[in-house]
Structure 1
């Protein structure tokens, strides 16, 4: 999750000779059941504090549509995360909403999106979905004092995120901090076991133990390195550029 915003590429308004924002291309929408009057939100996209590209979910857009109705709300999440402060706002709106909120993760709830998922009274995960938690990050430029201020900010943001995870999972703050340090990926079984989720979608029985189903960037990288040839022969080794590309794909 990022403690920052990003700028997008504006489009040129040919009629007036100036730039205008790109046309909206929303990959999320509300669906209302006419019989039960329950609403479903499909949240598929990057979490952003304002719309730059047209495919983000922003706090203002979310609030306008959340409080446009009442009754129970189901939020389907498939998001890689995004801006941590925007996610915090959306989390607060869901927690403050008078109706019952159910969260269902059908693909990925990573980084800042995992914070939003914690707002569900019940959190369900598809058996093929993933949930990922890690430390917040930012970009800072300046002298050593500026770097120290950036670190202090990240430390406080991490503590605020742990508040949401602790409230939902019941895990200790130390345990949660370690999971975030390791950039922890959880399948549905492990998420239920650790308390981040309540139930697995479509499952008729309790999930089986999944002690070996939790992994981190460090573990995956170490596993890959252990499989590389110790003393590669000339012209048969792995080029460094190819290796770096593989590591990049795995860690991102």
Structure 2
């Protein structure tokens, strides 16, 4: 591939290594939705993250949900065949304990021979879903998908001493969340974001700029006409490169008024959810 086109690709689309891993042909323009083949094990992280018992309630109503147990079942074939994994994410978050179990299953899969665990954010990666996402190797995000991170919260009842204990527990979970995000964006930036004590909403481009995601994908049917790449016959491009994003700048966010705008009603986490859920 021409070096100038490859340079344009890296600047406007993403790392070719990710595309090659998923078997997607490199091209100058929007990337086709990845079509995992027989050599890739697809694992779904769709719907609220809940316990196995609560998951059955969702499924009885025809809704999607995910638990540590269901995730373990779906990722098991990858370890058996030493195959790469692609996690499809469309989740509003949920239980922090179940998210921790999912992360444990991912770590165990790597220890058992799974070479890579990549992710594609199809629609939403919010709250507890983001700590699972952060453990993946390469992360692609659909151009209209969103990422939301915030401090953990829980429902609590009891005496003043009991509530203080709950508050201390939330502080510890926040520290653990900082460590989870720091794998991708560094401890200082992760601590700054979670220290804001509000929901941080990120568009796909903002999530990539921040470092939580690696590349923006467009669904094949929505890609439209790709932009024209630079003409390799025009000679060297002497125009100055775009400046890198300011690491200290406030990340681009979406208004909280957009919290559920355009989202399916069934993606809202029930109020009874305990952990990093909204």
Which range, TM-score by smaller chain?
0.5 to 0.7
Q: Give the alignment partner of residue 186 of structure 2, picking from 146, 170, 173.
A: 170
> Counterpart of 1:176 in 2: which secondary structure?
helix
Identify the residue that residue 92 of structure 2 maps to in structure 1: 80
Identify the residue that residue 95 of structure 1 maps to in structure 2: 107
User: Aligned Cα RMSD in Å?
Assistant: 2.8
Worse-matched range after superposition: 75-84 or 168-177: 168-177
Question: How far did residue 120 of structure 1 move?
Answer: 1.0
Alpha carbons 1:165, 1:176 under 8 Å: kept: no
Alpha carbons 1:103, 1:124 under 8 Å: kept: yes
Per-residue Cα deviation, 1:2-30 (whole angstroms, up to 9, x for no partner):
xxxxxxxxxxxxxxxxxxxxxxxxxxxxx
> Counterpart of 1:214 in 2: which secondary structure?
coil
Q: Give the alignment partner of residue 136 of structure 1, picking from 142, 148, 152.
A: 152
Question: How far did residue 32 of structure 1 move?
Answer: 7.1
TM-score by structure 2 length?
Answer: 0.60
Identify the residue that residue 189 of structure 1 maps to in structure 2: 205
Identify the residue that residue 104 of structure 1 maps to in structure 2: 120
Structure richer in strand, relative to its length: 1
Question: How far did residue 171 of structure 1 move?
Answer: 4.7
Structure richer in helix, relative to its length: 2
Distance in 1 (alpha carbons) for counterparts of 2:46 and 2:76: 19
Highest RCO, 1 vs 2 (Cα 8 Å, sep ≥ 6): 2
Change (3 A) 1:32 1:199: closer
> Counterpart of 1:121 in 2: which secondary structure?
coil
> Counterpart of 1:74 in 2: which secondary structure?
strand
Distance in 1 (alpha carbons) for counterparts of 2:45 and 2:155: 27
Alpha carbons 1:186, 1:215 under 8 Å: kept: yes
| 2:45 is the alignment partner of 1:33 | no
Question: How far did residue 89 of structure 1 move?
Answer: 1.2
Task: Provide structure 1 residue ranges, at least 5 long, that are not aligned to the other structure.
Answer: 1-30, 222-251
Identify the residue that residue 17 of structure 2 maps to in structure 1: none
Alpha carbons 1:171, 1:194 under 8 Å: kept: no
Question: How far did residue 64 of structure 1 move?
Answer: 2.3
